[in-house]
Amino acid sequence: MNGAKTARKIDFPRSPQPKARSRKPFAILFPLDVVYRRCGIALPEVREIAPEQMPFPYRTVLHHTNDMTLTLERHFGGPLVVRPLSTYLSGQWYVRRVLLAQEYSGKPVEMGAIRIKLSAFNARTRRQILANRIPLGRLLRNEGVPFESRPLAFFELTPNSEMMGVFWMREPRRLYGRRTEIVIGRRKIGDIVEILPLV
């Protein structure tokens, strides 16, 4: 031994690593998925797609930021009426699933599920929304509400038996739709899922 001390390696405690935040998965059918679960209805098989993967005329009717009611009325050639399928209140949110149908024939042209913040509107507009008589796009236009529809995702799905009944379908053929949010100014006031029947 020459008296030289052997250097000891000191292990400093490692500072704890921040835990990765678990990101909530994007629910492409929200709020339809919530409505179906409340009713005990099985969700359809769904797959997110790019808008370019949708065939025409689905792409024309779904891939835009315009008022969907007006787009459907132009495409199907006439005014639409609302057929409520289910509704409920959750705090200041109103959730409804409706069928839009041609006024003159009763033919379904869209099934939609919407969650909308009632406190974003005046009392008169709230009453009209809750009455479920006028398609939302036309109602907001009539009331002078400067809203914007922002598509978040597009999808194709295989309809479940309930959806086939709503759309007068005899066999489960592929359908298309979109998930959208409604914005007034910079404020989101609603979420919508819109699904088209065979067109």
Q: Which residues pair with 95 in a beta bridge?
A: 88, 115
Interval 94-123: pLDDT, tens: 999 999 999 999 999 999 999 999 999 999
Instruction: State the pTM of this model.
Output: 0.84
The amino acid that residue 180 corresponds to is T
Tokens found for residue 143 = 């009331």
Interval 33-49: pLDDT, tens: 999 999 999 999 999 99
Average model confidence (pLDDT) across the chain: 88
pLDDT band at 13 (very low <50, low <70, confident <90, very high): very low
Which pLDDT does position 10 carry in this prediction?
40
Statement: residue 171 has pLDDT above 80:
yes
Say which residues have a Cβ less than 8 Å from residue 16's Cβ, sequence separation at least 6.
none
Q: Which residues pair with 111 in a beta bridge?
A: 99, 195
Which pLDDT does position 139 carry in this prediction?
95
Domain range 42-196, CATH architecture: 3-Layer(aba) Sandwich (3.40)
pLDDT band at 25 (very low <50, low <70, confident <90, very high): low
Tokens found for residue 113 = 């599920």
